[in-house]
C-alpha cells in the first residue's frame, strides 16, 4: 500500500502491527483488539436560518468494548470522515489503557465548518446529533461518554448533557453522559488545561531521565530548553505556558496563518491576546515572521510540540526536522513512514497515545465526580486543614518558634478540587511514563517509545479480553 492510499486508520493499524509482533497472542485475539466494534453513520436534516434544508453527516465509532463505557471526543470539522473517526477511536482505546483509565475507546464527528453556521444552528445540530445517538444507544454514563474535540468545547457539551437529560427524565446519573462540561453544569476544575498540563508532566518526566538526556546530548530538566509549538489552541497554549513557567524558552509558535520566532523566548499569553484581538500572529511585536509553518517545524530546537492535526511529519519532511524531542500533543502527527527516520536520526518521540492523555484522564475524574454527586475535596478539605493546624501548633510548642500568619495559611491549606485533580493527573502521567520505560526494559528489541506504548496497550486490552472470555 502506498502512502497516497493509506488512511489514518491504516496508519494506526500499522503502528499496532509493529507492536503486536513482540507478542505471542493468537491472531484472532489481535484481530478483535484491532477492529472497531461498532460504527454508526447517520444523516439528518437541518433547516437553516434562511429556510434552506441542508443534510448533516455524522458518525460515532466505538472501537473497543473490552471496558465500558467507551470514551472519546466529538469533532466538528469540514473534512472529517469515517476512517478518521475510526482511527481516533482506536487511539482512544490504546490511550486509556496506557494511563489505566477504565474506558474503551470511541470518537464522534460531524462534517461541518463551524464558521458557516450561527450559534442557534450549531445548537440544533448538536442536539439532533445527541438525539440520534440516544436512539441507537450510543451515549450514556455507562455506555458511551463523549467529550470535546476539534471544533467543540464546553458549550456543545452542555447542549449534549441537557438533551440527554431531557430524554432520560429521572436518571440521577444523566449528567455523567458527557464530560468537558462547564463547571456550572457538572464540569471539573482543571479540565480545560488538562491535555496541555499532561503534556508538561510527560516532558518533565522524560527530561528527568539522565540516561535518555545524555544520549540526546541534553542536560536533565526543562530549564533553558528551546521549545517550538505548533498550534496555539487549548492544548498548545497550555503546553507552552507550563513549559515556559518551568524555565523553558518558547522560541517559535506556529498557527494556521504562519509562524513567528524569537530566540529570547515568546510569551504565549501575549501572542494569544494579540491574535484574539483580530491581528495575525505574523504581526506580533518583537517576533520575526517565518516563511512558512514548515520553517517553524524544521527549526533547530530541543523540544518540538505538534499540537494541531494529524500527518504533520512524513517521510518527505522528517529528514529536515532538527528537534531532539518531539512531544506529540495532537493525535497522529507522525506517520509510520516518518518514525524510522526519526529513530535513525536519534530523535526521541513521546507518542500521542501517552503524551496527550491528560484530557481523558481528567475527563475520567469529571465522570467520577458526576457519578458520586459530590465535588472533590468537599468532604475532606476542612478536616485536613484542622489536622495541619494541630500539627503546626505542636511544632511551635516543641521548637518555641511561631510560624508567621502567611506560613500558617500556606502550610495548613487543605486541597481543593483543582489541587486534587492536578495531583491525580501528575500521578497518572508519571506512572504511565515509567510503565512505557519498563516495557522497553522487558523487551530490548522494542525500538522506541511509540512501539512500547502500543505494546503496553495491547497487553492490557488482551488481558481484559482473555479474562472476560467470549459471550455467548
Where are the extended beta strands (E) located within 351-403? none
Task: Tell me the domain boundaries of the chain.
Answer: 36-185, 194-355
- In this prediction, residues 131-150 reach a mean pLDDT of 97
Q: Check residue 310 and give its pLDDT.
A: 85
Class of CATH domain 36-185: alpha beta
- Can you tell me the distance from the alpha carbon of 448 to that of 205, in angstroms, rounded to the nearest whole number? 16
pLDDT in tens, 275-333: 988 899 999 999 999 989 999 999 999 999 999 888 999 999 999 999 999 999 999 99
More confident call, 311 vs 456:
456
> What is the distance, to the nearest Å, from the Cα of residue 361 to the centroid of all Cα atoms in its chain?
8
Mean model confidence pLDDT for the chain: 95
Q: What is d(CA 91, CA 12) in angstroms, rounded to the nearest whole number? A: 7
Q: Would 36-185 and 194-355 be classified into the same CATH topology?
A: yes
Q: What is the pLDDT of residues 372-402, one digit of tens each?
A: 999 988 888 888 889 989 999 999 899 999 9
As beta bridge partners, residue 105 has: 71
pLDDT for position 4: 52
CB 259 within 8 A of CB 283: no
Distance, in Å, from the CA atom of 340 to the CA atom of 241, rounded to the nearest integer, reads 31
Percent of the chain with pLDDT over 90: 90
Q: Which residue has the cell 437553516?
A: 48
Q: How far is CA 381 from CA 358, 365, 387, 415, in A?
A: 24, 17, 10, 6
Of 141-145, 349-353, 372-376, the one with minimum mean pLDDT is: 372-376
Per-residue pLDDT, averaged over 458-468, amounts to: 96
C-alpha span between 143 and 103 (Å, rounded): 10
**Candidate list 71, 107, 225, 241, residue with the active-site label:** 107
User: pLDDT tens, 279-292?
Assistant: 999 999 999 999 89
- Given the C-alpha cell 472529517, which residue does it identify? 80
Whether 107 is catalytic: yes
The C-alpha atoms of residue 90 and residue 76 are separated, in whole angstroms, by 18
Rounded Cα distance between 144 and 40, Å, is 13
CATH code at 194-355: 3.40.50.720
Which pLDDT does position 301 carry in this prediction?
97
Distance in angstroms (rounded) separating the CA atoms of residues 131 and 53: 19
Amino acid at each position: 500500500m502506498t502512502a497516497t492510499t493509506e488512511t489514518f486508520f491504516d496508519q494506526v493499524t500499522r503502528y499496532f502491527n509493529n507492536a503486536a509482533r513482540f507478542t505471542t497472542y493468537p491472531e484472532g485475539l489481535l484481530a478483535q483488539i484491532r477492529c472497531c466494534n461498532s460504527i454508526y453513520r447517520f444523516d439528518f436534516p437541518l433547516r437553516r436560518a434562511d429556510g434552506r434544508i441542508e443534510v448533516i453527516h455524522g458518525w460515532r465509532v466505538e472501537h473497543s468494548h473490552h471496558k465500558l463505557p467507551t470514551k472519546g471526543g466529538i469533532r466538528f470539522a469540514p473534512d472529517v470522515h469515517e476512517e478518521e473517526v475510526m482511527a481516533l477511536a482506536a487511539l482512544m482505546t490504546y490511550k486509556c489503557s496506557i494511563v489505566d483509565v477504565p474506558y474503551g475507546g470511541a470518537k464522534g464527528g460531524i462534517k461541518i465548518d463551524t464558521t458557516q453556521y450561527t450559534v442557534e444552528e450549531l445548537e440544533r445540530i448538536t442536539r439532533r446529533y445527541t438525539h440520534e445517538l440516544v436512539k441507537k444507544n450510543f451515549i450514556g454514563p455507562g455506555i458511551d461518554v463523549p467529550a470535546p474535540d476539534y471544533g467543540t468545547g464546553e458549550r456543545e457539551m452542555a447542549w449534549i448533557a441537557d438533551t440527554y437529560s431531557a430524554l432520560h427524565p429521572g436518571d440521577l446519573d444523566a449528567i455523567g453522559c458527557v464530560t468537558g462540561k462547564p463547571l456550572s453544569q457538572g464540569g471539573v476544575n482543571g479540565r480545560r488545561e488538562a491535555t496541555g498540563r499532561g503534556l508538561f508532566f510527560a516532558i518533565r518526566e522524560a527530561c528527568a531521565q539522565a540516561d535518555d538526556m545524555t544520549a540526546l546530548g541534553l542536560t536533565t530538566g526543562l530549564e533553558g530548553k528551546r521549545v517550538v509549538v505548533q498550534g496555539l489552541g487549548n492544548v498548545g497554549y497550555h503546553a507552552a505556558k507550563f513549559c515556559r513557567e518551568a524555565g523553558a524558552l518558547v522560541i517559535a509558535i506556529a498557527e494556521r496563518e504562519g509562524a513567528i520566532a524569537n530566540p529570547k523566548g515568546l510569551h504565549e499569553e501575549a501572542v494569544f491576546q494579540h491574535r484574539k484581538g483580530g491581528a495575525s500572529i505574523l504581526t506580533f511585536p518583537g517576533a520575526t515572521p517565518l516563511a512558512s509553518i514548515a520553517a517553524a517545524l524544521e527549526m533547530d530546537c530541543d523540544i518540538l510540540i505538534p499540537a494541531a492535526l494529524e500527518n504533520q511529519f512524513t517521510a518527505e519532511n522528517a529528514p529536515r526536522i532538527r528537534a531532539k524531542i518531539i512531544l506529540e500533543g495532537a493525535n497522529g502527527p507522525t506517520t509510520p513512514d516518518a518514525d524510522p527516520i526519526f529513530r535513525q536520526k536519534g530523535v526521541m518521540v513521546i507518542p500521542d497515545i501517552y503524551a496527550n492523555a491528560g484530557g481523558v484522564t481528567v475527563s475520567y475524574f469529571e465522570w467520577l465526580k458526576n457519578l458520586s454527586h459530590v465535588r472533590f475535596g468537599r468532604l475532606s478539605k476542612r478536616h485536613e486543614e484542622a489536622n495541619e493546624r494541630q500539627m503546626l501548633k505542636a511544632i511551635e510548642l516543641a521548637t518555641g518558634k511561631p510560624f508567621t500568619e502567611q506560613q500558617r495559611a500556606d502550610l495548613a491549606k487543605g486541597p481543593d478540587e483543582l489541587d486534587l485533580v492536578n495531583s491525580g493527573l501528575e500521578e497518572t502521567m508519571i506512572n504511565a511514563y515509567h510503565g512505557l520505560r519498563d516495557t522497553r526494559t522487558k523487551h530490548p528489541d522494542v525500538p522506541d517509545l511509540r512501539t512500547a506504548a502500543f505494546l503496553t496497550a495491547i497487553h492490557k486490552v488482551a488481558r481484559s479480553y482473555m479474562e472476560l472470555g467470549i459471550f455467548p
